Structure 1
Amino acid sequence: NSLSISDGDALKQIYGGGRAFQKTEMYDGFTAIRPNIFGMRDEDLHASRKRMLNHGFSVQSVTSMEPYIDGCIAKLRLKLDEFTKTGEAFDLALWFSFLGFDILGELAFSKSFDILASSNPNDMPPFLAHGSLAAVGGQIPWFLKALPYLQNLPISTFRHLTAGRAALRQFAIDSVNARIAAKDEARRDLLYRLLEAKDPSTGEQLELEDIQTEAFGFIIAGSGTSASTLSILFWHLLHQPQIIETLVQELDENLPSLPESQQVYTYTDTSRLRYLSAVLKENFQINPVFTLPLGRSVPEGGTTVAGSFIPGSVEVFIINHVLHHNPEIFGYDHAEFKVDRWLGPQAKELAQFLSPFSTGHRACIGRNIVNFQIYKVVTTLLRNHKLEAVDGGQPGQIPTSTLASTHLHGLLMVRVYHR
């Protein structure tokens, strides 16, 4: 009872057309405490929650937290400096994961989780367990209803996944409780804004379980999206010599050397760089990270989508990876990493079909945080370091795997040198 659609004109109709196409039970798979802003299916509740959260995720708000992002990136720079001295090869993707999680801690809970310092992946929560259950449960609704019984069966996979999700849920609850107990009102982090948030229409505030629920969502989406995007991006850059050469040239011409008092470039300085912006758009086009089919229910009575009448209650969705590789939109070179497609006159038209964070009023609320991190990490690393892929950096097919979201498959082994 589902239809996958790849017509670009349907994107705005399905996802940007107000409340006509409502979320389906697929989103119930992502609920671990209560439905959060991503999984909420009730449009009135979502509208209220969005009014409460919008300001905390605005460009202005993220800019105010930029020094804490910088502090984490500065720690990554120190680690890269160590690798330049030893000449040791290392997995850059793993370090992007450490970075993303520490930044999440700073922005959400005013406390780094210090994974960059420990460099131990076992110190990170079991993200994969929740992602696996959400992906399967979202696509197979009966699985969610059966899960309480399945987890009691002597099957190690079920027990491992449910225990992992429970541990992740408890991690979110403990992080919220620790932040509240700290009583630090000087730091206007995301959790502080949740505690202070009021619906401007009703004056209503969030209950503790709602705050814990949103914190759980921060942890799931906040670190993994940026880390996966950066890993995929640097794979492309390190396997496209001409592109990284042109990008570094733009950085050298437009960004001065950083003084000792400043370790990281500002988002304001980096987001205006034309070639860099084109590179990032191409990366999102080739490999959008969150690629689940975001189901919507056709309104009662049915309607016409992409030229065909579809009965009411049928689930429709557009998978962004499929849309991004529609040759009628992006050309028959859609699978080739071609930055030029975002530098020509067609770029404005193509941009309306670029959907790495979905689109419309239910688009990812954290997209500004992701963009800040990506612009700052790319410019700071490439302006100060030279990276080489251990595999020789020959162009080829990027190895990825997808379960709820897309990740670089395997390691991104590199060596780093000072420029």
Structure 2
Amino acid sequence: MVSVSAPSEINKIFRYSKPWKKSDFYKALLMKPDGKPIPGIFATQDEGIHNQLKRPIAGIYSMTTLLSFEPFVDTTMRVLCNELQSRFASTGKPCDLGLWLQMFAFDVIGDLTFSKRLGFLESGTDVNGVMKDLWDMFRQTSLVTQMPWTDNLWTNNPIRRYFRGRTISPGASFAMACVQERREEIKTGKMNVNLETRDFMSRFLEIEAQDEKLPPYALAAWASSNLTAGSDTTGILLRSVFHNLLTNPVSLSRLLDELNTAADSLGPMANWKSARDLPYLDAVIKEAGRLHPSFGLPFERVVPAGGATICGKFLPAGTVVGMSAWAVHHDKDMFGEDCDKWRPERWLDVDGEKRRSMENALLTVSRFIKFLF
């Protein structure tokens, strides 16, 4: 396996047109309720299945549609603010902000997908051990992605499955339970899916009803992908933003000045269109994603027939290649000699062409979603 860190090779390895085949890295990430893998939009290696699952829902993830989901985010944000106020600001008790940001991310994804929060914020706890379970799963499967032959010996070992009850993760279980609950609501006339503001599940159901060729597991695959892929990654980025601001008071002060100046136009719940016009906020988010990307693994691909030249070296067909965001984001030629340090100003002190090059070199959440989904 060849690890590549040069930003110039991103669009070759993770190309949109005629994408390179995914390696066995992804087998470890498939759901296996009873030891048998269920194809998912992210982890399947079969391009036919991937396209079958991806094509019908691609439009839902367009920026235009995503902006229609802002009311769901605002609702959960108000819950977060109220809980932080009543539990900590009013009482003076210490707050584990990292934990609360992660719980917020999970509840946001639940609200966006099912119009139903998982209940992390209201309870102030890890409901049903979802976060712990996902962490335990990724801690094990991250190793298996690098040694795929260990899957049946370790994570998918039938003896281990027996002792853990052959269950899938609580996150996937919650998603599947919500799918079944929504089906029952529609069947009994308690839910109208043709509402003006529709969550992801309503849109998934509409697509399923219109396409008879979809596999029976499509709805569960879409819903569980939202929950498992969107929650932790969002939580990690939020934690990185707040950690770096709280440990760099000069940056925090500059951001607060920008926010205070724009307060009247932003309102109590700033929407995306207003917030995107704040240059320092944008730089802070980019720098947080650069220094602490949500994905640390290389997301491998296989060099196609005929081979390929990577960084000036020819690699024969069948060679496994991958890129780690952590390595790419520390490229000194792209991000400067001080790339190991927190400096949001690097995104502002350059011309437009250089900034676009830096943005294209970021392997953050949204970028990987485009490549891999």
Q: Normalising by the residue count of structure 1, what TM-score does the alignment of the two structures yield?
A: 0.78
SS at match of 1:309: strand
Tell me the distance in 2 between the aligned counterparts of 1:305 and 1:358: 24
Check if 1:175 corresponds to 2:185: no
Residues 251-270 of structure 1 aligned to structure 2 (within 5 Å): 251-256=259-264, 263-270=268-275
Q: What is the CA distance between 1:285 and its match in structure 2?
A: 1.0
SS at match of 1:222: helix
SS at match of 2:41: coil
Q: What does residue 67 of structure 1 align with?
A: 71
Aligned alpha-carbon RMSD (Å): 2.5
Tell me the distance in 2 between the aligned counterparts of 1:256 and 1:161: 53
Tell me the distance in 2 between the aligned counterparts of 1:207 and 1:57: 20
Check if 1:233 corresponds to 2:238: no
Tell me the distance in 1 between the aligned counterparts of 2:117 and 2:178: 11
Q: What does residue 224 of structure 2 align with?
A: 216
Tell me the distance in 1 between the aligned counterparts of 2:217 and 2:320: 30
Q: What does residue 320 of structure 1 align with?
A: 325
Q: What does residue 243 of structure 1 align with?
A: 251
Check if 1:127 corresponds to 2:134: yes
Identity of aligned residues (%): 27
Per-residue CA deviation, residues 111-137 of structure 1 (Å, 9 max, x unaligned), is 122221111124342212332343223
Supply the AA of the counterpart residue of 1:120. Answer: T
Check if 1:306 corresponds to 2:305: no
Check if 1:276 corresponds to 2:281: yes
Q: What does residue 24 of structure 1 align with?
A: 23
Moved over 6 A (4+): 158-162
Tell me the distance in 2 between the aligned counterparts of 1:326 and 1:148: 34
SS at match of 2:309: strand
SS at match of 2:341: coil
Tell me the distance in 2 between the aligned counterparts of 1:3 and 1:220: 28
Tell me the distance in 2 between the aligned counterparts of 1:72 and 1:173: 22
- In structure 2, runs of 5+ residues without a counterpart are 33-37
Q: What is the CA distance between 1:179 and its match in structure 2?
A: 2.1
Q: What is the CA distance between 1:283 and its match in structure 2?
A: 0.8
Tell me the distance in 2 between the aligned counterparts of 1:178 and 1:229: 31
Tell me the distance in 2 between the aligned counterparts of 1:17 and 1:209: 25
Check if 1:13 corresponds to 2:20: no
Tell me the distance in 1 between the aligned counterparts of 2:235 and 2:329: 21
Is the 1:35–1:213 contact (alpha carbons within 8 Å) kept by the matching residues of 2?
yes
Q: What is the CA distance between 1:272 and its match in structure 2?
A: 1.7
Supply the AA of the counterpart residue of 1:16. Answer: R
Whose strand proportion is higher, 1 or 2?
Answer: 1
Per-residue CA deviation, residues 307-331 of structure 1 (Å, 9 max, x unaligned), is 0000110100111110001222212
Tell me the distance in 2 between the aligned counterparts of 1:162 and 1:74: 38
Q: What does residue 83 of structure 2 align with?
A: 79
Q: What is the CA distance between 1:151 and its match in structure 2?
A: 4.5
Q: What does residue 3 of structure 1 align with?
A: 2
Q: Normalising by the residue count of structure 2, what TM-score does the alignment of the two structures yield?
A: 0.87
Q: What does residue 205 of structure 2 align with?
A: 195
Q: What is the CA distance between 1:81 and its match in structure 2?
A: 1.8
Ranked by relative contact order (alpha carbons within 8 Å, sequence separation 6 or more), the top structure is 1
Tell me the distance in 2 between the aligned counterparts of 1:85 and 1:74: 16
Tell me the distance in 1 between the aligned counterparts of 2:20 and 2:366: 14
Is the 2:100–2:121 contact (alpha carbons within 8 Å) kept by the matching residues of 1?
yes
- Relative to structure 1, the CA distance from residue 294 to residue 199 in structure 2 (aligned partners, 3 Å threshold; closer, same or farther) is farther
Q: What does residue 392 of structure 1 align with?
A: none
SS at match of 1:146: coil
Supply the AA of the counterpart residue of 1:249. Answer: D
Per-residue CA deviation, residues 363-383 of structure 1 (Å, 9 max, x unaligned), is 265xxxxxxxxxxxxxxxxxx
Per-residue CA deviation, residues 56-82 of structure 1 (Å, 9 max, x unaligned), is 222222221211110110011112222
- Relative to structure 1, the CA distance from residue 258 to residue 75 in structure 2 (aligned partners, 3 Å threshold; closer, same or farther) is farther
